[in-house]
Amino acid sequence: MLTVDFQGFKHIPGRELLHMSKSLNLNALNNVSVTSYDKEVSIFENVDLIVQLPDDSKHEMQYPIGESLATVKKRVCDEFGFAFDDVALYLNGDAFLMDPLSLNDVPAIVQAKGSKILIVLKKK
């Protein structure tokens, strides 16, 4: 049995410091069903994207589902000559995709794994 002891003091105004002792039994956690993030969703599994540029040309690309949208946007900008701050990504052309999120933060992308997902790059 693994036990962690915490000792501390509690101050009550007008009284001396009172000694407190608490124990936490970590074995109680053995029976809790916890799935690690990596087991729950494979962040390295590739998703197939179709990236549509402002000239309506379409390009197939693959990214790990754990990749950030900022990285996807940067790669597309670098490859096709767009300034990062001048464009934005949209799912299916209408749902704005925020840069700090990852592909797996967008439920529609997670649900569409195995299908080609349309990402539209639009000028701001």
The domain that holds 49 is classified in CATH as 3.10.20.90
Q: What is the DSSP pairing of strand 46-52 with strand 95-97?
A: unpaired
Given this model, what pLDDT does residue 28 score?
Answer: 53
Let me know if residue 86 belongs to a domain: yes
- Indicate whether 71 and 118 sit together in one domain: yes
- What is the signed CA dihedral for 71, 74, 76, 81, rounded to 10 degrees? -170
Both 69 and 13 in one domain: the answer is no
Q: Which of 73, 68, 75 is nearest to 106 (CA)?
A: 68
Predicted confidence (pLDDT) at residue 22 exceeds the cutoff of 70: no
For residue 37, being part of any structural domain is answered with no
Residue the block writes with tokens 């990852």: 102
The pLDDT tens digits of the residues spanning 24-52 come to 555 555 555 545 554 444 677 899 999 99
Instruction: Return the ∠ at Cα 123 (arms to 54 and 82), rounded to 5°.
Output: 75
Task: Pick the most confident of 16-20, 21-25, 51-55, 106-110.
Answer: 51-55
Structure tokens at 93: 């052309």
Mean pLDDT of 44-62: 94
**How does DSSP assign 55-120, residue by residue?**
TS-EEEEEEETTSBHHHHHHHHHHHHT--GGGEEEEETTTEEE-TTSBGGGSHHHHHTTTSEEEEE
What pLDDT is stored for residue 5 in this prediction? 42
**Tally of domains in the chain:** 2
Shared domain for 82 and 117, answered yes or no, is yes
Residues 50 and 105 in one domain: yes
Same domain membership, residue 119 and residue 85: yes
β-strand partners of 10: 18
Same domain, 14 and 64: no
pLDDT in tens, 64-116: 988 999 999 999 999 999 999 999 999 999 999 998 899 989 999 988 878 99
**Domain span at 18:** 3-30
Q: pTM higher than 0.75 for the full model?
A: no
What's the first-to-final CA gap in the chain, in angstroms?
A: 60
Does residue 72 fall inside a structural domain? yes
- 91 and 55 together in one domain: yes
